[in-house]
Amino acid sequence: MAELHDLDAHDQSAALRSREVSAVELVQHHLDRIDAHDAALGAFITVTHERALARAADADARLADKDTTPPFLGVPTAFKDLTSTAGVTTTMGSALLRDQVPDLDAHLVTLVEAAGFVSLGKTNTPEFGLSSYTDNDVVGPARTPWDPTRNAGGSSGGAAVAVAARLLPLAPGSDGGGSIRIPASACGVFGFKPSRGRVSSGPDGSDWAGLAVSGPITRTVRDAAALLDAMAVPMPGDVRPLPAPPEPFTSWVGRDPGPLRIARWSGTHLPGVEPSSEAVTAWESASRLLESLGHDVVDVPNPFPRELETQFNLIWPSSVAAAPVAAEAEQLLRPNTRYWRQRGLQTSAVELSRAMTYLEQTTRTVVTDLGPFDAMLTPTLALPPQHVEWFNESGDPVEDHRRELLFTPYTGLYNMSGQPAASLPLHWTAGDTPLPVGVMLATHPGRDDLLFALCAQVEAASPWLRRPHAA
């Protein structure tokens, strides 16, 4: 058998059921890897050693009783530190909440644990998940294991690092402007943002803006499909619930998607923001691969208008502005968090309503105009992973935001439109320290199933599993 940490979640589950390894041994193996590697990588904010081993022991007892109902009984995972976990510190990446311990689990946590997964703790995230890089005043930056001098991307940076470095086989993340796909690209793993409404934010979260959704970060497409199958169960009262898919997403992995018509563009919707040569090379290579698989890849201009960025920046900071932060505690927030909080506080209800209406109307037109196409292809990011220092908060939040736009001009568009989108780790830069460069595939709203079929086809044609230097 391969090293335990090199197995994906499906193979780890198979090893547990065949009793090649116990859940306690499997969880301890991953905890040991966290202890050995995480200080250099910053994947975790909190590691729950005793709790994880106790739950692994429970899993072993159930496996001994031939309880095979939960499909991933005893397989390790961890939750992003924005996700409420009862009895486990949940900082949301903020020194202000360093000691916060929720009383209840997010619905996502309940569902993932019901599938048998054992959580090893909470993964690193920027303060309130606001940035496209992961750094905070709790544990500091998350670093891509391909080159730990470079940031892992955000805001699910810790989750992507943990999966890439084989500290976990998979992990849930959340994505409000690219926060699954950005770190997936920077860490060389597979990241899948589901359609709007696919995963509930309950019981205490809210999908009022329609931008954020939770989804899987994995090393294989089949693991991502299985994790989304576990997560995609609505709660009563969800504002935008999608009906349950007629078939599990895992049933689409390995299914021939048929010849598809795929629109592609590499230009951004932002003046002065252009993709790097590495991003274009990855995109061109992916285009050739898709054509070799029988798909019709068609050049189109970027269909999203530049004004979306202005309207997005009225909506995005409103959530942090609504956070109940006492005036005397404001100084505990990072400077850029205070900046976005103030922007949100200055936005009127009328401005917010107009911005949300503009996003809905505009992206509805875009999706309609893309109707002749089955899927879309772009770079995931405009730049490869950037040095940790490049994202240090400079004291000029406008400049810091400009750098984020230079880094990630593509991903947030699909949050605005509600389309499912995935980052595939198909390309690495040349040189002594190769860096991962993802490409992004998307489909129409609600067609997560087709996207899984297409991504699995690409994975089979060009397998991407590699081990980074730091792992």
Contact 435, 385 (CB under 8 A): yes
35-89 pLDDT per residue, tens = 999 999 999 999 999 999 999 999 999 999 987 789 999 999 999 999 999 999 9
Mean pLDDT within 301-307: 98
Domains of the chain: 4-461 (3.90.1300.10)
CA distances from 445 to 74, 115, 253, 292, 410 (A): 33, 26, 19, 26, 17
The pLDDT score that the predictor gives to residue 326 is: 85
Quick check: 416 pLDDT over 90?
A: yes
> For position 114, what pLDDT does the model report?
98
Catalytic-role residue among 13, 119, 155, 423: 155
Q: What proportion of the chain, given as a percentage, has pLDDT over 70?
A: 99
Question: Is the pLDDT score of 107 beyond 90?
Answer: yes
Region 362-388: mean pLDDT is 98
Please pick, among 132, 179, 200, 417, the residue that the annotation labels catalytic: 179
Q: Is 179 marked active-site?
A: yes
DSSP line for 310-365: HHHHHHHHHHHHTS---GGGGGGS-HHHHHHHHHHHT--HHHHHHHHHHHHHHHHH
pTM: 0.98
Angstrom distance (rounded) from CA 360 to CA 362: 6
Give pLDDT, residue 393.
Answer: 85
Residues of the chain with pLDDT > 90: what percent? Answer: 93
Task: Tell me the average pLDDT across 324-340.
Answer: 91
- Average pLDDT over the chain, rounded to whole? 96
Long-range contacts made by residues 461-466, C-beta under 8 angstroms, separation at least 24? 461/289, 461/292, 461/293, 462/289, 462/426, 464/188, 464/190, 464/424, 464/425, 464/426, 465/219, 465/220, 466/188, 466/428
Q: Say how far apart CA 249 and CA 222 lie, in whole Å.
A: 9
What mean pLDDT do residues 388-392 have? 93
- What mean pLDDT is predicted for residues 201-210? 92
- Predicted local confidence at residue 2, as pLDDT: 86
Mean local confidence (pLDDT), 218-243 = 96
Q: Residue 1 above 70 pLDDT?
A: no
- Residue 394: pLDDT above 90? no
- Annotated active-site residue 394? The verdict is no
The band of 470, judged by pLDDT with boundaries at 50, 70 and 90, is: low
Quick: pLDDT tens for 422-461. 999 999 999 899 999 999 999 999 999 999 999 999 999 9
Known catalytic residue at 18: no
